[in-house]
Structure 1
Amino acid sequence: MTDLRYLQAYPPHLQEQVRQMIASDRLGDYLRQRYPARHEVQNDKALYVYAQELKQAYLRSAPSLDKVLFDNRLDLTHRALGLNTAVSRVQGGKLKAKKEIRIAALFKDAAPQFLRMIVVHELAHLKERDHSKAFYQLCQHMEPDYHQLEFDLRVYLTYRELPGIT
């Protein structure tokens, strides 16, 4: 039986569908059919602009972003696809918090929908710190297909870990 570590929270019937697609070697075809394109955001500057545009469209009153970048150190072993951090620094006599979003570098080659889903997720943390009902409602406000994209992203991560897939 195939270990589906990214899909453990999903119902058994969905996990079984994914297992059947893996067994019949159809999972890659499914993903290529649903997500044929790759995004064009390939550097940190473009990622910053992309995140700023989404923030401006949906979260104007949220704290400003100081840095958005692809991070080679984020990996799936730490279960981090992206991080939203506030780095505190002393400037003069004041304590300033710089808001940063880091996206795992493996998403440079992902479908544009997956990049958007991850950026939306990290932007939502500017308003809602926890993964609460309000957090997921905000994610859906910014990306109506958020839940389907999250599931498909987890399927994509499962596919990437199959033997012989790079």
Structure 2
Amino acid sequence: MTPLKYLQAYPPALQDKVHQLIAQQRLGEHLATRYPNHHDVQSDKALYAYVAALKQQHLKNAPGIDKVLYDSKLDVVQRALGLHTAVSRVQGTRLKAKKEIRVASLFKAAAPEFLQMIVVHELAHLKETEHNKAFYQLCQHMLPDYHQREFDLRLYLTWRELPETNRHSLNRSS
């Protein structure tokens, strides 16, 4: 059996079920059933508005975000799906930090639930820098089914990396 790199931390019994779906060429069908829709957040401007609305809804007192964009190099170069950064610059006698959120471009064609999960994850980093208990509690506060979506996103990433011969479509226009 091929190791499931996105699911290595999950119990072997769960990984076995995923291997069965892959062997039966049903992983794409499973995902398409659970996540049949495609979102309209296609531009950096629309993504900024989307992130700002979620931030306003859940994290009113968190620092502002200066820049939000889709990044085509993110998943290839940094093995990341989203990235939050604070770029510090000296302006006169003050140090000014600009907060940025970058989302991997692959999420332009993903289900809206996956985009929301990635954005919630990156927004949580505004308050909690480490992936600790408080971080995941904040993610769940903003998105109650955060852990299920994270697992399903890992299934989606697994499906994307299957060889074309084993990868049946999600039956969704990309």
TM-score (norm 1): 0.97
Aligned to 1:12: 12
**RMSD over equivalenced CA pairs, Å:** 1.2
Q: Look up the SS of the partner of 2:39 in the other structure.
A: coil
Does residue 75 in structure 1 map to residue 75 in structure 2?
yes
Distance apart, 1:89 and its partner CA? 1.2
Q: Summarize deviations over 1:95-122 as a string: whole Å, max 9, x none.
A: 1000000000011000000000000000
Where in structure 1 are there 5+ consecutive unaligned residues? Answer: none
In structure 1, what residue type is equivalent to 2:116?
R
Q: TM-score, normalised to structure 2's length?
A: 0.93
**Correspondence 1:27 to 2:27:** yes
**Structure 1 residues 5, 77: closer, same or farther in 2, change over 3 A?**
farther
Which residue does the alignment assign to 2:132? 132
Which blocks of at least 5 consecutive residues in structure 2 are unaligned?
A: 170-174
SS class of match (2:74): coil
* Corresponding residue number in structure 2 for 1:91: 91
Distance 2:114 2:123 in 1: 14
| Residue 93 of structure 1, CA deviation | 2.1
**Which amino acid in 2 is paired with 1:72?**
S
Q: Which amino acid aligns with 1:51?
A: V
Q: Deviations over 1:3-31 (max 9, x none)?
A: 20000001111100000000011101000
Q: Secondary structure at the match of 1:137?
A: helix
Alpha-carbon distance in structure 2 between the residues aligned to 1:76 and 1:9 = 22
SS in structure 1 of the partner of residue 60 of structure 2 = coil
* 1-structure distance, mates of 2:132, 2:140: 13
Question: Mean Cα displacement is larger for which, 84-93 or 123-132?
Answer: 84-93
After superposition, give the CA deviation of every residue in 1:35-82 in whole Å (9 maximum; x if it has no partner): 011111001000000000000001011000000100011015632000
| Residue identity in the other structure for 1:3 | P
Task: Supply the distance in 2 between the matched residues of 1:64 and 1:155 (Cα, whole angstroms).
Answer: 32
Q: Write the distance in 1 (CA, Å) between the matches of 2:158 and 2:13.
A: 16
Percent of matched pairs sharing the same residue = 69
Correspondence list, 1:34-49, <5 A:
34-49=34-49
1:163 and 2:169 correspond: no
> Aligned pair count?
166
Q: Distance between the aligned counterparts of 1:142 and 1:4, measured in 2?
A: 28
**Structure 1 runs (4+) greater than 4 angstroms displaced:** none
Query: Which residue of the partner structure matches residue 144 of structure 2?
Result: 144
